[in-house]
Amino acid sequence: MNGMMKRLIVGMVFCGVLAGSAALAQDDQAVLQDRRAPVVLRPFEKTRILNDMREYLKGLQDILSALTREDMVAVEVRARALGTINIYETSLMFPTVSGVKFRELSALVHEEFDAIADDARKGKGSKVILAQLALTMKRCTSCHESFRLTEMAHSR
Ligand code: HEC
């Protein structure tokens, strides 16, 4: 390989590294920049909602393990309990478009857990219930992608 060729190859590798790190920097920015819309709440409501969220996760875990045992009574009981979580009753500091959308999504989750409880009672199989859970979990993930909670301090 002649000197010219070597320099060309070294140059190309260097450019590749530069381009790679530029792409990485862009990815980092996407992660660091929170583009989720804020839902502004009173501090106690934020605490309550996060508490409800942990209940959702816990409830889902219970439902999944009940399904593995085909214990439809336990599925119904847990889904019914999750159906009583009323995040949509949160009173918004500002009824912004995102706040209203947030409430609509919460109402959907609420209805869907109730429907899952009804279907478990009616003896629908675990496959049907799993499909419903997959759909409801899409609400969880799409809401998480779109919104974040912020609290308005010094408000009642
Ligand atoms: C209507 C919107 C919405 C829905 C639906 C929703 N979440 Fe959330 N969830 C949020 C927001 C907003 C946060 C807080 C994120 C933030 O502020 O960074 C959150 C936080 C959480 C947390 C963290 C709790 C903590 O203590 O910090 C868990 C766990 C969670 N959600 C689980 C779930 C599960 C499971 C479901 C579905 C059954 C669900 N969520 C449905 C909006 C939602």
Q: How far apart are CA 87 and CA 102, in angstroms?
A: 9
In a domain, 104, yes or no: yes
Kindly state the tokens that stand for 54: 């942990």
Q: Where in the sequence is the domain holding 86, given as residue range(s)?
A: 36-151
Q: Is residue 116 located within the same domain as residue 97?
A: yes
Q: In terms of domains, do 114 and 141 share one?
A: yes
Closest approach atom of ligand 1 to CA 113 = 38
CA of 144 to the centre of ligand 1 (A): 6
pTM for the whole structure: 0.81
Query: In the predicted model, what is the mean pLDDT of residues 115-136?
Result: 96
What separation in angstroms does the CA of 120 have from each of 17, 37, 58, 60, 90? 56, 35, 18, 14, 29
Q: What is the mean pLDDT of residues 34-50?
A: 90
Q: Which residue has the higher pLDDT, 102 or 119?
A: 119
Task: Tell me if 156 is assigned to some domain.
Answer: no
Question: How many domains is the chain built from?
Answer: 2
- On the question of pLDDT at 53 being above 90, the answer is yes
Q: Tell me, yes or no, whether 43 and 118 share the same domain.
A: yes
Query: First vs last Cα of the chain: how many Å apart?
Result: 76
Residue 107 belongs to domain with CATH number: 1.20.120
Residue 102's nearest CA partner among 61, 154, 53 is 53
Quickly state the pLDDT bin for 155 (edges 50, 70, 90).
very low
Residue 20 or residue 74, greater confidence: 74
> CA-CA distance, 1 to 89, in Å (whole number)?
73
Residue 97 confidence class, pLDDT cut points 50, 70, 90: confident
Percent of the chain with pLDDT over 70: 74
Cα of 3 vs centre of ligand 1, distance in Å, is 59
Mean of pLDDT over the chain? 84
Confidence of residue 11 (pLDDT cuts 50, 70, 90): low
Residue 143 CB–ligand 1 contact under 6 Å: yes
Share of the chain above pLDDT 90, in %: 51
Q: How far apart are CA 67 and CA 55, in angstroms?
A: 18
Angle between helices 126-146 and 97-121 (to 10 degrees): 170
CA of 145 to the centre of ligand 1 (A): 10
